[in-house]
Amino acid sequence: MLATDLYDLRKTLMQSGVMFAYSGYMTEQVRLAVGETLKQKLSMEEADTKTVRSVFAVFVEQMQNVIRYSAERVPEEETPEVTELSFGILTIGKEGNEYVLLSGNLIRSEDTERVSEKLREIQGMNHDQLKRFYKDKLREGPDEYSQGAGIGFIEIARRASRPIEFDFAKVDDRHSFFALKANI
Amino acid sequence: MEPLKIPATSNTPEVDFDFDQNRFCLKGESHPEDVTAFYQPVMDPLEAHLGNHGDGTCEFVLEFIYFNSSSAKIVMTLMDLIDEAAEAGATVNVKWVYDPEDDNMLELGEEFGEDLEHAKFELVAQESE
Torsion of CA B19, B20, B24, B27, to 10 degrees: -90
> Which residues in chain B have their CB less than 8 angstroms from residue A30's CB?
none
Give the model's pLDDT for residue A33.
Answer: 94
Contact indicator for A166, A178 with CB cutoff of 8 Å: yes
Please tell me which residue, B122 or A143, carries the higher pLDDT value.
B122
Give the model's pLDDT for residue A81.
Answer: 66
Neighbours of A35 (CB within 10 A): 18
Please write the tens of the pLDDT for every residue from B102-117.
Answer: 999 999 999 999 999 9
Do residue A60 and residue B31 have CB atoms under 8 angstroms apart?
yes
Please write the tens of the pLDDT for every residue from B7-63.
Answer: 999 999 999 999 999 999 999 999 999 999 999 999 999 999 998 877 889 999 999
Give the model's pLDDT for residue A82.
Answer: 67
Torsion of CA A154, A155, A161, A166, to 10 degrees: -50
H/E element holding A97? none
Do residue A57 and residue B99 have CB atoms under 8 angstroms apart?
no
Contact indicator for A20, A38 with CB cutoff of 8 Å: yes
Give one word for A77, left, alpha or beta, with left for phi > 0 and alpha for psi -120 to 50: beta
> Which residues in chain B have their CB less than 8 angstroms from residue A151's CB?
69, 72
Give the model's pLDDT for residue A148.
Answer: 46
Please write the tens of the pLDDT for every residue from B50-106.
Answer: 988 778 899 999 999 999 999 999 999 999 999 999 999 999 999 999 999 999 999
**pLDDT cut 70: percent of chain A above it:** 92
pTM exceeding 0.90: yes
> What number of CA atoms fall less than 13 Å from residue A157's CA on the CB side?
26
Give the model's pLDDT for residue A147.
Answer: 46
Which residues of chain A have a pLDDT value below 50? 147-149
How many inter-chain contacts (A to B, CB under 8 Å) are there? 57
CATH tag, A20-183: 3.30.565
H/E element holding A69? helix A49-69
Question: Chain A contact for B10, CB < 8 A?
Answer: yes
When CB atoms are compared, the residue of B11, B70, B107 closest to A148 is: B70
H/E element holding B31? none
Give the model's pLDDT for residue A80.
Answer: 67
Peptide bond into B41 cis (omega under 30): no
Nearest chain A alpha carbon to B110: A131
* CA pair distance A117, A175, nearest whole angstrom: 18
Q: Which of A56, A58, A154, A156 to mutate to test the interface with B (most CBs of B within 10 A)?
A: A56
Do residue B70 and residue A64 have CB atoms under 8 angstroms apart?
yes
Contact indicator for B73, B81 with CB cutoff of 8 Å: no
Do residue B73 and residue A152 have CB atoms under 8 angstroms apart?
no
